[in-house]
Amino acid sequence: MMWKRLLTALFTLSTAAGAAAQEESSGFNMTRGVTEISRDAFDMHMLLFWICVAIGVGVFGVMTWSLIRHRRSRGAKPAKFSENTTVEIIWTVIPVLILVGVAVPATAVLLKTNAEAPDPDVVVDVHGSQWKWEYVYPDEKISFVSNLASDSRDASQLNAKENPADTPNYLLDVDNPLVVPAGKDVRLRITSDDVIHAWWVPELGFKRDAVPGQFNNADIRIDKPGTYRGQCAELCGSGHAYMPVVVEAVTPEAYDKWVAQQQQAAAKEAEQASAPYNFEVAMKQGKNVYESACASCHQINGKGIEGAFPALEGGKITTGPVEGHLKIVIHGSEKNPVMQAYGDKLSNRELAAVITYERNAWSNDTGDLVTPQAVEAAR
Amino acid sequence: MSQTADSVVDQIEHDHSHHGPRKGPLRWLLTVNHKDVGTMYMVLALVALLVGGVMALVIRAELFQPGLQLTQPQFFNSLTTMHGLTMIFLAIMPGLTGLANWMVPLQVGADDMYWPRVNNWAFWMLPPAALMLWVGFFMPQGAPGGGWTLYAPLSSTYAPPSIDWVIMAIHIMGISSIMGALNIILTILKMRTKSMKLWDMPLFTWTWLITGFLLLLAMPVLAIAVTMLLTDRHLGTAFFDATAGGDPVLFQHIFWFFGHPEVYIMILPAFGIVSEIVPAFSRKPLFGRTSMIWAVIAITFLSAIVWAHHMFTVGLPVEAQVLFMYTTMLIAIPTGIKIFNWVATMWRGSMTFEAPMLWALAFIFLFTIGGFSGLMLADVPADYQYHDTYFVVAHLHYVVVTGSLFAIIAGVYYWLPKWTGHMYNETLSQWHFWLSAISVNVTFFPMHFAGLAGMPRRIPDYPLQFMDFNMVSTVGAFVFGFSQLLFIWLIIQTIRGGKKAGDRPWDGAKGLEWTLPSPPPYHTFTEPPSDKAVHEEGPHGYH
């Protein structure tokens, strides 16, 4: 089965040069994408590609001719020359002209790509963190976390039972995609909460690093509605391959509807968060917090990943004394920086809820209810 | 038996120039002989090539198909990180330094290096540094996985304890490089035989002279970068910690101010090797010799002002992006001149295709392909797409593997008869070449497509549309890796015996090294070479 696939692959790649030369996206070439930026990048790419092909044909042609004709076995006698000023000037000047010819359009495109829209219709703050994206719409007061879809996660485990080939959009699917209106100016303000990540969707035509402590702006206008997929492009730790970017561009009407829905859901959540705190409420709220903040490492089922992320089900900390559990969630792990300090990221109530959830979900059943007051005391 | 005064002098000189190496196991530890040190560098490079190669094969095996079959992601990241560090600092750099140790004194008619004992130290710092680098694999949280570029904060705050060992290993390797570079510079400038003018030096020596200065510029900067990482980790500084007012991008500026010259540290001596071999097997003087040297000097200058082209996506001001795009494009001009000159050297020559020439030709073809992708990467709007994808992985391997490594292998085949006194097995060497030259392209060419199709680098698992490219790459990598066992066997065979190599096994080769016997005596040029020899072996010797 594998071998058959391999043979097919070898065959397809042997005809690859021809495929790459075709200007439409063939799976071998850069995508033309769905923004002006991506089309410009593609055009620059093809311009350079053809220039390289032309130079290559010239240089390799002369070289091959020489290799065939000027060999001793054909009785070639060596010439004595070792200089020719005219030739040397020509092959210095021609590359200069070619480079100027490339630099002029490249500069124009670069300036255009980096130009900011005067008044963007939608602003989204994009926060990278190990290993998920958080999208915040400051004007609409919406925010949510975008995690790798759980079927991809299951199939991506070492020696998983699930087959990646049977998983739709394997490693390119998320629970909550970024939703933006097509045909409108959207400003992304990209940053990171921990290490450097890079936000990239090939069809949008650029990638920008998510750097802690700075916002990198990217203005996009997507031509047509659709779902566009990409991945984190900057090495960010063990989950680097598992934080895809999915953008859903929808019609402006659908976008307005989506915003309204999100705001209603947020209102409901706020209501839940302000409901009197008891075990049932804590478990409900804790589950939400867990799935957005903890599950990308410790997994929805709490079993973690062997050799990388400890299991919380039956874990020493999650079923041991509450003090230890509070300490590691609020202050992070001393031994392993991957377990961050969540004290600054979550409120007392969220922390209390998620710890309560971890101590009672799955088979943990400790019966403990951790209160926001206990969290405050442990800070 | 009575002796005349003359014969006593003869006897002493005879002893002096012909006494051999120290007997017993301490020979290699205590040797200050440039040939012994050169040999040790080459052996270390070969060992590191195998270690780094095994890491690469595990990486390729994991990437053969989607899903995880062999490694956990963190271990995979450790492998990519250690593969890069091992190949750069322990295989390519020592390989080139080993060639310099062996050949620079012979090419300039010096009896040894300027500081023989420093030479011994510079080498012997490397094996412990190698162990410190690799020990992380056996430490609790494994070897660092933040990439060989060690970007903060992933390689500072977020790194496992083994990063401290890596930082110290880099310091030691850096000190070793600086000592080696000074030694080579001083040997060339102070010990060059009197009648050899600077401009008449062989190209390999010329490129190493310039590389020496580039090392002196770059290595201290790397030391600064990793020291700042270390103090961020342990002394409470926050150079790169944004939560305390630092800037992670600062690390990248410092690192690449070292990192880009480093690329040229690995390629300039390779240019030198190819510039020796192409004329030898074309039986024609190097075309445009002076412009070749000026091109190297120009590349060296430019290499120090292009560093931010590794950082086009970090959010630099657009003016800076334009500036670094221009300086990067400029490098194409002197590099192009070098390629054109090699082609012109072959033009109307009388070529034969023994192993050194085959590897040098493969270098010219394939390094040029790496140069093309480099030109494409310089173009910022397109780089927004290429950056951090397999397109970059393809580019850098065309430059470092089919560039630097191929040139080192070419140099080994070229000088091995001189070192050992034996010819290598030509048939086997042709097998080695063709297997390597084909499989290296099967490995790295599909990576261009994978990158263009959107595959990020440094991922242990990937979406299904990249599967075909990765399968083919993996097959190529295994063939390429195992082909190098042929190379090792060939070297062992040649050391042990084989057809006697004459003083000048290549009839077109020029250079003082070819006036010596093969193998050369333990001490050479205790008498400086004659003016006539210097002239005949120099650039004017062809006429």
DSSP string, B327-395: HHHHTHHHHHHHHHHHHHHHTT--B---HHHHHHHHHHHHHHHHHHHHHHHHSHHHHHHHTTBHHHHHH
Per the CB < 8 A criterion, the answer to whether A146 and A175 are in contact is yes
Per the CB < 8 A criterion, the answer to whether B181 and B287 are in contact is no
SS3 call for A114: helix
Contacts of A114 in chain B (CB under 8 A): 318, 321
- Total residues found in chain B within this entry: 543
The nearest alpha carbon in chain B to A215 belongs to B315
pLDDT reported for residue B543: 55
Residue B345 Cα, gap to closest chain A Cα (Å): 7
Residue B358 Cα, gap to closest chain A Cα (Å): 11
Q: What is the tens place of the pLDDT at every residue in B467-479?
A: 999 999 999 999 9
Architecture of the domain defined by A275-378? Orthogonal Bundle (1.10)
> Is B294 near chain A, with CB under 8 Å?
no
Average pLDDT over residues B481-492: 97
Q: What is the tens place of the pLDDT at every residue in A51-90?
A: 999 999 999 999 999 999 999 999 889 998 888 999 999 9
Interface of B with A in 392-411 (CB under 8 A): none
Contacts of A90 in chain B (CB under 8 A): none
Domain spans of chain A?
28-68+86-115, 122-252, 275-378
Domains by residue range for chain B, with CATH: 31-542 (1.20.210.10)
Q: What is the tens place of the pLDDT at every residue in A120-165?
A: 999 999 999 999 999 999 999 999 999 999 889 889 988 888 899 9
Per the CB < 8 A criterion, the answer to whether B447 and A229 are in contact is no
Task: Compute the distance between CA of residue B373 and CA of residue A139 in angstroms, rounded to an integer.
Answer: 43
Model confidence at B141, in pLDDT bands (50, 70, 90)? confident
SS3 call for B486: helix
The nearest alpha carbon in chain A to B368 belongs to A56
SS3 call for B170: helix
The 3-class SS string of B382-404 reads HHHHHCCEHHHHHHHHHHHHHHH
Model confidence at A344, in pLDDT bands (50, 70, 90)? confident
User: Is the pLDDT at A254 greater than 90, yes or no?
Assistant: yes
> Is B494 near chain A, with CB under 8 Å?
no
Per the CB < 8 A criterion, the answer to whether A17 and A186 are in contact is no
Size of interface A-B (CB pairs under 8 A): 317
User: Is the pLDDT at A326 greater than 80, yes or no?
Assistant: yes
Model confidence at B488, in pLDDT bands (50, 70, 90)? very high
pLDDT reported for residue A306: 72
User: Is the pLDDT at B452 greater than 60, yes or no?
Assistant: yes
Query: What percent of chain B stands above pLDDT 90?
Result: 93
pLDDT reported for residue A135: 96
Cβ–Cβ below 8 Å for A59 and B340: yes
> Is B527 near chain A, with CB under 8 Å?
no
Distance separating the N- and C-terminal Cα atoms of chain A = 56
Chain B interface test: which of A39, A50, A86, A238 (most B C-beta within 10 Å)? A238
User: Is the pLDDT at B328 greater than 80, yes or no?
Assistant: yes
Would you call A254 exposed, middle or buried from its count of C-beta atoms within 10 A (0-12, 13-18, 19+)? middle
pLDDT reported for residue B331: 95
DSSP class of residue A341? -
pLDDT reported for residue A3: 67
Q: What is the tens place of the pLDDT at every residue in A24-43?
A: 445 889 999 999 999 999 99
Residue B281 Cα, gap to closest chain A Cα (Å): 10
Cβ–Cβ below 8 Å for A41 and B382: yes
Contacts of A79 in chain B (CB under 8 A): 284, 347-349
pLDDT reported for residue A15: 59
Chain A interface test: which of B253, B340, B395 (most A C-beta within 10 Å)? B340
Model confidence at B396, in pLDDT bands (50, 70, 90)? very high
Where does B387-506 have alpha helices with state H?
A: 390-399, 406-420, 426-453, 467-496
Mean pLDDT of chain B: 94
Positions of B annotated as catalytic residues are: 83, 112, 148, 176-177, 260, 262, 264, 275, 309-310, 335, 338, 457
Average pLDDT over residues A356-374: 89
Where does chain A have alpha helices with state H?
A: 2-14, 16-21, 36-69, 85-114, 150-155, 252-274, 279-293, 295-298, 316-319, 322-331, 348-360, 372-378
SS3 call for B3: coil
Among A79-93, A295-309, B49-63, whose mean pLDDT is lowest? A295-309
Model confidence at A277, in pLDDT bands (50, 70, 90)? confident
- Does an H or E element contain A128, and which? strand A122-129
Report ipTM (2 d.p.).
0.90
The nearest alpha carbon in chain A to B280 belongs to A78
Per the CB < 8 A criterion, the answer to whether B282 and B349 are in contact is yes
Average pLDDT over residues A270-282: 83
pLDDT reported for residue B8: 46
Model confidence at B344, in pLDDT bands (50, 70, 90)? very high
Model confidence at B2, in pLDDT bands (50, 70, 90)? very low
By Cβ distance, the residue of A66, A202, A209 closest to B346 is: A66
pLDDT reported for residue B438: 97
Residue carrying the six token digits 């990598």: B477
Q: Which residues of A109-119 are buried (b: 16+ CB within 10 A; e: fewer)?
A: bbeebbeeeee
By Cβ distance, the residue of A38, A195, A202 closest to B153 is: A195
Model confidence at A300, in pLDDT bands (50, 70, 90)? confident
Model confidence at B12, in pLDDT bands (50, 70, 90)? very low
Model confidence at A117, in pLDDT bands (50, 70, 90)? confident
Distance separating the N- and C-terminal Cα atoms of chain B = 50
Cβ–Cβ below 8 Å for B349 and A96: no
User: Is the pLDDT at B345 greater than 80, yes or no?
Assistant: yes
pLDDT reported for residue B4: 46
Mean pLDDT of chain A: 89
**Amino acid identity at B74:** Q
CATH class of A122-252: mainly beta
Model confidence at B145, in pLDDT bands (50, 70, 90)? very high
Which residues are CB-neighbours of A20 under 8 A, at least 6 positions away? A26, A28, A29, A49, B449, B452
Q: What is the tens place of the pLDDT at every residue in A174-198?
A: 999 999 999 999 999 999 999 999 9
